[in-house]
Amino acid sequence: MKHLPPRARRRALAAFAAGAVAAITLAGCSAGDTAGGGAVGGDGSFDAVEAALEKGGEITYWSWTPSAEAQVAAFEKEYPNVTVNLVNAGTNNEEYTKLQNAIKAGSGAPDVVQIEYYAFPQFALTDAFVDLSQYGFADFEDDYTASTWNSVTDGDAVYGLPQDSGPMALFYNKAVFDAAGVAVPTTWDEYYEAAKAIHAANPNAYITNDTGDAGFATSMIWQAGGQPFQTDGTDVTIDLQDAGTKTWTENWNRLVSEGLVSPTSSWSDEWFRGLGDGSIATLVIGAWMPGNLMSGAPDGAGDWRVAPMPTYDGTPASAENGGGGQAVTTQSKNPALAAGFLWWLNNSEESISIFLESGGFPSTTAELSSEEFLSEAPEYFGGQKINEVLADAANNVVTGWSYLPYQVYANSIFGDTVGQAYQNRTDLNDGLTDWQDALVEYGNAQGFTVNK
């Protein structure tokens, strides 16, 4: 992938930044000038960050992660001159809307903000985040897995540091598989056969749930080798009918059209119920899932296990699903201090250990290969060393994926297009084509040049 110099690119995308607020929120309002302020004081080294941490000050941090409170407390203890105002400004989309509004208004954004990987390009390319390479953050590359580092950087620019990661694996309810007498699938063909067997054994049980989830679909396309979104400056190419995408739809169409997936929305109370009582037998989902199962589906304790994600041809392959990091906004009045907090948050052993305790799955290579981490054997998973499987998945993430520079919007209209195909059990390819048409139109209207 080629890259324009970040400066030129930002200017070209300025019009888009102004329009995005209207698109994400409900009302249409005219485009105005964007928040300026790419100029940030910094002498290009990590010394400036250390000096800022020593000097102290006050910063605001937006996050909805469960570990944030304990991390902020630990940070303030270690750096008593710094005050961090922790604000939960909403979970994912809600926070992005508020951030986008604050960027549009030119004030009100926090210093440090939590952003999921899929949303990084949208904010990074519109001048919302400070390029941390000026503080020497490029040196941290080796501390993180390749796929997460790739998600927070663009060429030489470093727009944040990764926190958690979500290499995909197959979470399955062993009790359901045993009852139906089915072996754990290693390929998607076996998965399809298992889906039929489980549903035949118990009409209330399904292999998994899926009502059309953009995050899941894009990750599945990722694993199948699809690269539907390519960005080069303001030129965007969208091809939701490439070979990889078609590999996935061929696999998933049969499950949807034959009614083998439960029509339950993820994260609903019904979903948690299904995970607890065995009516949803597997989840192909990010490695951050164990903690959610333990807290959200306590009835499933002892039944769940983890296996590698099924593959198409037997070669291990995974994809990132969810996960995110933190970034410093260009509205920050003390970016060096904000960068210091970000560095401590996602690079210090102390903070990462708090994060791990809260059930998070790390993006740092040191933790992913540590004996202590790999040997954990939670009782919920019948004493299985699940982190061995999950860490292995992190090494098998297919390379070459990128999200759209307006992926937040894209995901928000997924239900209107591909979701319809799910609901009517029609060809997912038709839904994806509709999605693509809508994305091309939107991208062109926002000042991109979009090719199909």
Q: Which residues bind other proteins (CB under 8 A)?
A: 21-22, 25-27, 29, 62, 64-67, 87-92, 94, 97-98, 101-102, 104-108, 164, 166, 267, 269, 272-273, 276-277, 286, 288-289, 291-292, 295-299, 322-323, 358-361
- The string of DSSP letters for 149-190 reads HHHHEETTEE--EE-B--BEEEEEEHHHHHHHT-PPPSBHHH
- The nearer residue to other proteins, 134 or 148, going by C-beta atoms, is 148
Q: How far is CA 291 from the centre of its chain?
A: 16
Minimal distance in Å, beta carbon 47 to other proteins? 33
Asked whether the beta carbons of 341 and 58 are under 8 A apart, the reply is no
Minimal distance in Å, beta carbon 86 to other proteins? 10
Q: The tokens 């710094």 sit on which residue?
A: 82
452: how many CB neighbours lie within 10 A of its CB? Answer: 12
- The nearer residue to other proteins, 338 or 450, going by C-beta atoms, is 338
Tell me the C-alpha distance between 120 and 107, whole Å: 20
Tell me the C-alpha distance between 155 and 102, whole Å: 27
Minimal distance in Å, beta carbon 289 to other proteins? 8
312: how many CB neighbours lie within 10 A of its CB? Answer: 17
Minimal distance in Å, beta carbon 266 to other proteins? 8
- The nearer residue to other proteins, 9 or 98, going by C-beta atoms, is 98
Minimal distance in Å, beta carbon 88 to other proteins? 6
**CA dist 40 → 43, 108, 332, 342 (Å):** 10, 18, 9, 16
- The nearer residue to other proteins, 228 or 323, going by C-beta atoms, is 323
- Residue 210 corresponds to which amino acid? D
What's the token pair of residue 317? 């392959």
**CA dist 406 → 32, 120, 182, 260, 429 (Å):** 19, 9, 42, 32, 21
- The nearer residue to other proteins, 29 or 73, going by C-beta atoms, is 29
- The nearer residue to other proteins, 171 or 188, going by C-beta atoms, is 171
Minimal distance in Å, beta carbon 292 to other proteins? 5
Question: What residues does 62 pair with on adjacent strands?
Answer: 87, 113
Write out the E strands in 117-228: 153-154, 157-158, 161-162, 168-173, 208-209
- The nearer residue to other proteins, 67 or 365, going by C-beta atoms, is 67
Minimal distance in Å, beta carbon 119 to other proteins? 12
Please state whether beta strands 449-451 and 235-238 pair in parallel, antiparallel, or not at all (unpaired).
Answer: parallel
Q: What is the CA radius of gyration of the chain?
A: 22
- The nearer residue to other proteins, 209 or 234, going by C-beta atoms, is 209
Minimal distance in Å, beta carbon 134 to other proteins? 27
Minimal distance in Å, beta carbon 75 to other proteins? 18
- The nearer residue to other proteins, 95 or 131, going by C-beta atoms, is 95
- The nearer residue to other proteins, 188 or 216, going by C-beta atoms, is 216
**CA dist 274 → 127, 191, 270, 280, 411 (Å):** 43, 19, 6, 5, 25
- The string of DSSP letters for 230-267 reads EEETTEEEE-TTSHHHHHHHHHHHHHHHTT-EE---TT
Minimal distance in Å, beta carbon 1 to other proteins? 27
Asked whether the beta carbons of 233 and 169 are under 8 A apart, the reply is no
Largest CA distance in the chain: 66
- The nearer residue to other proteins, 121 or 166, going by C-beta atoms, is 166
Q: Give the phi and the psi of residue 175 in degrees, each rounded to 5.
A: -60, -40
DSSP code, position 396: T
Minimal distance in Å, beta carbon 400 to other proteins? 24
